Amino acid sequence: MRTDTGQVFRLEDYRPSDYRITHTDLLFRLDPHATLVTAKLTVERRDGVAANAPLVLDGDGLVLESLGLNGAPLAGEGYTATPDRLEIRAVPAEKFFELEIVTKVSPVTNKALMGLYQSKGNYCTQCEAEGFRRITYYLDRPDNLSTFQVRIEARKAEAPVLLSNGNPVEHGDLADGWHYAVWHDPFPKPSYLFALVGGDLGSIHDTFTTASGRKVALGIYVEHGKEPLATYAMDALKRSMRWDEERFSREYDLDVFNIVAVSDFNMGAMENKGLNIFNDKYVLADPETATDVDYAGIEAVIAHEYFHNWTGNRITCRDWFQLCLKEGLTVYRDHEFSADQRSRPVKRIAEVRNLRSLQFPEDQGPLAHPVRPRRYKEINNFYTSTVYEKGSEVVRMIHTILGPEKFRAGMDLYFERHDGQAVTIEDFLACFAEVSGRDLTQFALWYHQAGTPRVTVTTSHDPATGDFEVNISQTVPPTPSEAVKKPMHIPLAFGLLGPNGDEMEMGSVEGAEVNDGVIHLTAASQTIRFRGVGSRPVLSLNRGFSAPIVLNQDLTKEDRLFLARHDSDLFNRWEALNSLFVEALIAAAAREKEGKPHDFDAALVEAAIEIAGNDGLEPAYRALALSLPSEADVAREIGNDVDPDAVRAARDALRREIGGKGRDAFRRIYDQHADSGPFSPDAASAGKRSLRNVLLDYLAAAEAAPELAALQFETANNMTDRAAALTVLAHQFPEHEATRKALAAFDARYRDNGLVMDKWFVVQATIPGAATLERVKSLTAHPAFSLMNPNRVRSLVGAFSSGNQTGFHRADGAGYQFLADIILSLDRHNPQVAARLATAFRSWRSMEEVRQLEARKALERINAEASLSRDVKDIVERTLA
């Protein structure tokens, strides 16, 4: 394990390496405990580098077996090898030479799940970001692009399937029950995209013919018996391949494309060239075991990894500071794909909810960092929602500012100019600046400045002159090591709504660049005057969430209700209602603390009920509109001195109020939308289920009785409805007999299916209230739980610590201490997942005082551990700073 050495990596220190590895020839002899890896590296000295400059290669815990140079063994005085570094001093004088390195690795004991490891007995790899150096010594940096030839030898009984990157070259039998396969990847790639799989796996196969007629063999490899569960993923893959051709003219470039699902995986999936390796959560689905959310997740992640073939693989990152170059852009592309496959407004609302619940707290807390960070201690801690989701929002803003044609032209130029290169954010932005003639210098601050901009808006209308004045100001709050911020270029899509709810015509505009329905805010404060506006308009601003900001607008309650009913922008319609819910909940939480009774606005409750029955809106949209802000959403808006118990009580009360007033209507809609016919995972069917399940939550609250949920649980013919009913039961009636029975039935039915048991763990880990901690502790002893499997850890411990406000933030600090214990024991074998869990502490300073003291104690206890990984150390130090 890599412990903290205090080393910090800085963007400004980037230097090209003295040498390049241009071709990599690998031989693996797979064995659980002693896999031999022979790497023959073709090394080139770069022009201008001194002939005696040492060649320094990265390693991580490596055992060196032997070393050869240009075909001869290398003498001990010619090099220095430690587990983490190999320095060759006896470098030959020629420009090109060949280095042969033999290392020995132990996949079965590799529980960090980086490098070569085993999952359920199958060999697999994870090399991003710096896992390749756990396999062999290498220039393990993304700017070293090399072709790869890989020969895998294995016991045929143990690993009949042998896969690597690129195209298959040959395979055959060897002596003693062994066999081999050879793969060749003609596209030069960095080592983080290397992959190997060896195992006894089932598979499904299909083909895809590209626009230019290349026939590609597609394969998805899964555990034996799970083949039918991969058909939806295969369908999503083919749709992704087609979409990238139609939308961006990007074609696939190899003869084969393989996906392998493994059950032990640190992240979602990995875009290795021609051989994507997936967390099985993002491959396997059928109606019996997967929810609609799971299906949508599979579609999105399959697309994401496939899209990386161009944005990430053909064009990669110069260094890890540029991570958002591939991730932000690829998230943007998968968002667009899903929006095209499903409902665009529904998708957008879901994206924004996700951004606010994950990225905003990151950007507003101790772990805030720019989309393109300038320093890191441990790169794995920067696979964050800032790099991914805010990174995607930044690309979306480029689209908004340039418009669709110029955006597409910029992308085309990027693909054409940088294919086969390892590049930077500056290279990316230059393409858009060039095709549009726009200066994007100020815009680039979105990559460099951390923090969520706050935009404040006031308006005034003069009926006499017909002038409508909009004052907009922006501030970017200070973030760690960045106290002073510059004003940003913020594109605000907008419309003016007239008294009848129609879009108003406007005359001339002054005070800002305003075009194509977008206000370009560029100064700290600007006054924009619209002329010829006859009657007072309602300003619908930041439509479609065109900029990832916090917006404070001087709208009255009536204005917001008006927008909620009339805005032609469906995002802002949702936003108007959502902001009213947030306000109501903040006020209710304050009253709760003072012991006063609730007094919810009847008009707000009425508006919610009206939306539920509005057949002009698709069910999925209505479901989102009716989903109350989460307790965490409300806590974030309150910002400091948060009392999670008061927030929870307020939210329960509003749910009861809406449910009570809407009861009859909700019951009617619930019955009308009952599933008829066989299950289909399509967006429209999923939308009906989501509306029904939101209503179920209200109905159970109104009736204060579990019967309807219990009935749905028993009669459901799919996992979406079953899991939703179980959630209502457990969260609203945790101690009820009906809940106990349902939880036990679920356990009995799915106990052997880890992915389904994840839902069972999540449901219980997120039961509001102080008592849940004891439940979570005892569930760690459940046979389906394992601290070795990242999905189980995330479902039980992750869901508890980041999804249970009242449970995790227990006033006595017991939730914090529990998490600290888990982190310390997990850190010994899987630092990456341990560090991820530790980010649950990031909002500790916004809690009320007693909880802050308790959180600090837990953090300091972790920090005091002598052999902490550099992953956890980095998170804890920054959180405490």
Complex with Zn ion: residue 258 or 578, whichever CB lies closer: 258
CB-side exposure of 792: number of CA atoms within 13 Å? 21
Neighbours of 69 (CB within 10 A): 20
Cβ 130 to ligand ARG, closest distance in Å? 8
Q: How far is CA 737 from CA 710, 711, 751, in A?
A: 10, 14, 20
Q: How far is CA 574 from CA 336, 627, 858, in A?
A: 20, 10, 39
Footprint on residues 595-634 left by ligand ARG (CB under 6 A) = none
The span from the CA of 164 to the CA of 272, in Å, is 9
Complex with ligand ARG: residue 122 or 380, whichever CB lies closer: 380
Footprint on residues 328-387 left by Zn ion (CB under 5 A) = 330
Choose the stretch contacting ligand ARG; rule: CB under 6 A; options: 262-270, 496-504, 620-628, 782-790: 262-270
Determine the angle formed by the axes of helices 683-703 and 619-626, rounding to 10 degrees: 40
Q: Which helix (H) or strand (E) holds 475?
A: strand 467-475
Footprint on residues 193-222 left by ligand ARG (CB under 6 A) = none
- Are 58 and 135 in contact by the 8 Å Cβ rule? The answer is no
- Residue 276 touches which of Zn ion, ligand ARG, none (CB < 5 to 8 A by kind)? none
User: Is 317 buried (19+), middle (13-18) or exposed (0-12) by CB count in 10 A?
Assistant: buried
Complex with ligand ARG: residue 115 or 451, whichever CB lies closer: 115
Question: Is residue 305 annotated as part of the catalytic site, yes or no?
Answer: yes
> Encoding tokens for residue 613?
């029955």
Give the amino acid at 840.
Answer: A
Choose the stretch contacting Zn ion; rule: CB under 5 A; options: 15-23, 172-180, 325-333, 415-423: 325-333
User: For residue 561, which of 602, 620, 613 has the smallest C-alpha distance?
Assistant: 602
Contacts of 283 (CB under 8 A, 6+ apart): 220, 222, 229, 230, 233, 259, 261, 298, 302
The span from the CA of 414 to the CA of 404, in Å, is 15
Q: Are strands 316-317 and 275-279 parallel, antiparallel or unpaired?
A: unpaired
| The one among 25, 292, 299, 305 contacting ligand ARG by CB under 6 A | 305
Choose the stretch contacting Zn ion; rule: CB under 5 A; options: 115-123, 321-329, 485-493, 691-699: 321-329
Complex with Zn ion: residue 327 or 637, whichever CB lies closer: 327
- Are 816 and 808 in contact by the 8 Å Cβ rule? The answer is yes
> Encoding tokens for residue 33?
């405990």
Strand segments, DSSP code E, in 476-532 are: 490-497, 509-510, 513-515, 518-521, 525-530
Strand segments, DSSP code E, in 46-143 are: 55-58, 63-69, 72-73, 79-82, 85-88, 96-105, 115-119, 122-126
Cβ 874 to ligand ARG, closest distance in Å? 13
- Residue 380 touches which of Zn ion, ligand ARG, none (CB < 5 to 8 A by kind)? ligand ARG
> Which residues on adjacent β-strands are paired with residue 138?
58
Q: Is 257 in the site for ligand ARG (CB under 6 A)?
A: no
Choose the stretch contacting ligand ARG; rule: CB under 6 A; options: 21-29, 59-67, 88-96, 266-274: 266-274
> Which residues on adjacent β-strands are paired with residue 103?
37, 64
Catalytic residue, from 305, 351, 657, 854: name it.
Answer: 305
- Are 604 and 581 in contact by the 8 Å Cβ rule? The answer is yes
Complex with ligand ARG: residue 304 or 461, whichever CB lies closer: 304
Choose the stretch contacting ligand ARG; rule: CB under 6 A; options: 265-273, 491-499, 582-590, 637-645: 265-273
Render the burial of 172-204: b for 16+ CB within 10 Å, e for the rest. Answer: eeeeeebbbbbbbbebbbbbbbbbbbbbebebb
Complex with ligand ARG: residue 379 or 490, whichever CB lies closer: 379
- Residue 267 touches which of ligand ARG, Zn ion, none (CB < 5 to 8 A by kind)? ligand ARG
Give the binding-site size for ligand ARG (rule: CB under 6 A). 13
* Location of structure tokens 């509306």: 691
Rg (CA), the chain: 28
| The one among 154, 233, 267, 496 contacting ligand ARG by CB under 6 A | 267
Q: Which helix (H) or strand (E) holds 95?
A: none
- Residue 270 touches which of Zn ion, ligand ARG, none (CB < 5 to 8 A by kind)? ligand ARG
Give the binding-site size for Zn ion (rule: CB under 5 A). 2
Cβ 274 to ligand ARG, closest distance in Å? 15
Complex with ligand ARG: residue 112 or 638, whichever CB lies closer: 112
User: Is 627 buried (19+), middle (13-18) or exposed (0-12) by CB count in 10 A?
Assistant: middle
- Residue 399 touches which of Zn ion, ligand ARG, none (CB < 5 to 8 A by kind)? none
Footprint on residues 813-832 left by ligand ARG (CB under 6 A) = 832
Nearest-5° Cα angle at 269, 264 to 273: 120
Cβ 308 to ligand ARG, closest distance in Å? 6
| The one among 37, 162, 230, 270 contacting ligand ARG by CB under 6 A | 270
Cα 126–chain centre separation: 17
Choose the stretch contacting Zn ion; rule: CB under 5 A; options: 294-302, 322-330, 731-739, 744-752: 322-330
Going by the DSSP 8-state scheme, the letter that residue 156 receives in this structure is T
Footprint on residues 363-382 left by ligand ARG (CB under 6 A) = 380
Q: Is 392 in the site for ligand ARG (CB under 6 A)?
A: no
Cβ 829 to ligand ARG, closest distance in Å? 15
Choose the stretch contacting ligand ARG; rule: CB under 6 A; options: 267-275, 422-430, 585-593, 677-685: 267-275
| The one among 154, 204, 269, 728 contacting ligand ARG by CB under 6 A | 269
User: For residue 234, which of 264, 200, 265, 257 has the smallest C-alpha distance?
Assistant: 257
Footprint on residues 129-168 left by ligand ARG (CB under 6 A) = 129
Footprint on residues 830-849 left by ligand ARG (CB under 6 A) = 832
| The one among 266, 685, 712, 869 contacting ligand ARG by CB under 6 A | 266
Complex with ligand ARG: residue 383 or 670, whichever CB lies closer: 383
* Location of structure tokens 């390049």: 20
Complex with ligand ARG: residue 146 or 832, whichever CB lies closer: 832
Choose the stretch contacting ligand ARG; rule: CB under 6 A; options: 264-272, 407-415, 645-653, 701-709: 264-272
Footprint on residues 114-133 left by ligand ARG (CB under 6 A) = 128-129
- Residue 266 touches which of ligand ARG, Zn ion, none (CB < 5 to 8 A by kind)? ligand ARG
Q: Is 383 in the site for ligand ARG (CB under 6 A)?
A: yes
Complex with Zn ion: residue 59 or 312, whichever CB lies closer: 312
The residues of the shown chain that bind Zn ion, judged by CB under 5 A, are: 327, 330
The residues of the shown chain that bind ligand ARG, judged by CB under 6 A, are: 128-129, 266-267, 269-271, 304-305, 327, 380, 383, 832
Residues catalogued as catalytic: 305
